Structure 1
Amino acid sequence: MDHDEFIGTVQQRADLAGRGEADSATRAVLTTLGQRITEEEAEDVAAQLPMEIGRYLNDDVEHGQQFDFPTFKQRVADTAEASDVEDDPETAAQAVASVAVEATGTGQIQDVVSQFPENEGYGGLLAGVEEAET
C-alpha cells in the first residue's frame, strides 16, 4: 500500500471531508501510538509502512509513555488539525489502525496493542480492525 492509498482509505473509513483531514488524523494517531510504544516497536512498525507515514511513529516522539485509551483519544484530538478528528478521535484512531494493519500485512500493530494491559481500554483501538477484516 502506498501513501496515497493509505490516506484515501483512512479518509473513507473515518468519513472525513478531505485528504488533509485524513493526513492530520494519520499523523495524530501514529504520533500518539509512537508515544505509547517503545522506540524499537515504533521502528518495527514504521519500517512496514510507507515512509511518509511511518515517520510519524518516531519523529519528535518521546517513546514508552504509559497512558490509557481515554488519554490516547484526548491526545489524538489535541494533536489533530482537523475538526472532524477533534470531535471523534476514536473513529479516526480505529480507521488509522485498521489501515495500518492492512498496510503492514503482518498484524504487527495488533500484536503491539494486544500487549497493552486490558484495563487500559485499548480494545477500542482495534475495533476498526475487526470491522475492516470482515
Structure 2
Amino acid sequence: MERDDFYQSVEQQANLADEADARDATAAVLSALGERLDETRSQRLDGDLPAEIGDHLAEGASGRDRSLDEFRSHVAERTDRADVDDPDRLSRAVVGTLLEHVGEDEADALRARLEEYGYDAIVPESGPGAGE
C-alpha cells in the first residue's frame, strides 16, 4: 500500500479538506493508538504500513491505560489542521483505513483489542475497514 493511498482514504472517509488534513489526523490518531496498544501489537501493525505512517504507532510509551475520553482528548490535542469537532469521526476514518490495509489476522486482533479497551466508537461499523 502506498502512503498517498492511505491518506486519500482517510481524507475521503473523514470528509477532510485536503491531504494535509489527512496527514494531520493520521498522525494524531495513530500516535494516540500506539500509546494505548502494547509494543508488540504496534510493531506488527507498523510492519504493514508505509514507514512514515507506521512510525506514528511507535511514538511515545506504549501500553498506557487510557479511557476513550482520554483517547479523544489526545487526538484533539495533537490535531493541528484537521477539524476536531468530532474526534470519533477522524479516528474511525484512520482506524478504518488501517484495518483495511493490514492483514486479516492483525485486523481481527486489533478490532478485538479495541473492543476490550471500550473503544468501539472508533471502529467503523460499515464501509472500509468494517468487520464482516
TM-score if structure 2 supplies the norm length? 0.89
Unaligned segments of structure 2, at least 5 residues: none
Q: Which amino acid aligns with 2:4?
A: D
For residues 48-127 of structure 1, what are the structure 2 equivalents within 5 Å? 48-59=48-59, 61-84=60-83, 86-116=84-114, 118=116, 120-126=117-123
CA shift in 2, pair 1:91/1:56, >3 Å: same
Partner of 1:18: 18
Point out 4+ residue stretches in structure 1 off by more than 6 angstroms: none
Identity within the alignment, % = 30
State the alpha-carbon separation in 2 of the partners of residues 101 and 44 from structure 1: 12
The number of equivalent residue pairs is 130
- Shift of the 72–58 alpha-carbon distance from structure 1 to 2, 3 Å rule, reads same
User: How big is the shift at 1:4?
Assistant: 0.2
SS in 1 for 2:63: coil
Give the letter for the 2:87 counterpart. Answer: P
Q: What is the Cα-based RMSD across aligned positions, in Å?
A: 1.8
Structure with the larger helix share: 1
Do the aligned partners of residues 108 and 130 (structure 1) sit closer, same or farther apart at CA in structure 2, a change above 3 Å counting?
farther
Question: Unaligned stretches of 5+ in structure 1?
Answer: none
Deviations 1:50-86 (A, max 9, x none): 1110000013x111100111211111011111241x2
- In the alignment, which residue of structure 2 is the partner of 1:131? 127
**Matched residues in 2 for 1:32 and 1:11: separation?**
19
Per the TM alignment, residue 115 of structure 1 is displaced from its structure 2 partner at its CA by 2.5
